[in-house]
Amino acid sequence: MQSLSSGRWNLSVGLLGLAAFMVYGFVLIYLRDFAPGHEQWAADYGIGKHFEARLAHVHGALFSVLNLVMGLVVPKLEVSTRSRAGIAGLAIAGLLMPTGILAEVLFGAPPILVLVGGVAILVSFAWAGFAALRAPAS
């Protein structure tokens, strides 16, 4: 099995996450334009659960793309294998944010996953940024 430090998991999770949130986007289009009662759904589009559903879609797609970026960056960082794995793992954990938003909408889950995911991806990118700054000039 490939280690997190290679970035391969970030690439796979990023691509699969992007595909999943694209499918979710089609679900949102169906609900807005074709489902029974779509007129009311469209009227409520900018408030409450409808707004949160769109937040999950947008953040899921964005964080998936960010994992693709991290999958390309992680192998190039001049840090220990353990640090690369930590950076990569935190980027993947960042997908807890949109997943948490979706869990709130669908199941009334508490927002803890949203907070954990947001902090995880922020720490991942900050850690990678500082690692890049500390790297010797080439």
Which pLDDT score, from 0 to 100, does residue 46 have?
78
Token duo for residue 95: 């997908």
Token duo for residue 3: 């280690």
Q: Which helix H or strand E contains 27, and what residues bound it?
A: helix 8-33
DSSP, collapsed to helix, strand or coil, labels residue 38 as helix
What is the model's pTM? 0.92
Listed in sequence order, the residues at least 6 apart from 30 whose beta carbon sits closer than 8 Å to its beta carbon are none
Q: Spell out the per-residue pLDDT of the chain, length 138, in tens.
A: 578 889 999 999 999 999 999 999 999 999 989 999 999 888 887 788 889 999 999 999 999 999 999 999 999 999 999 999 999 999 999 999 999 999 999 999 999 999 999 999 999 999 999 999 998 876
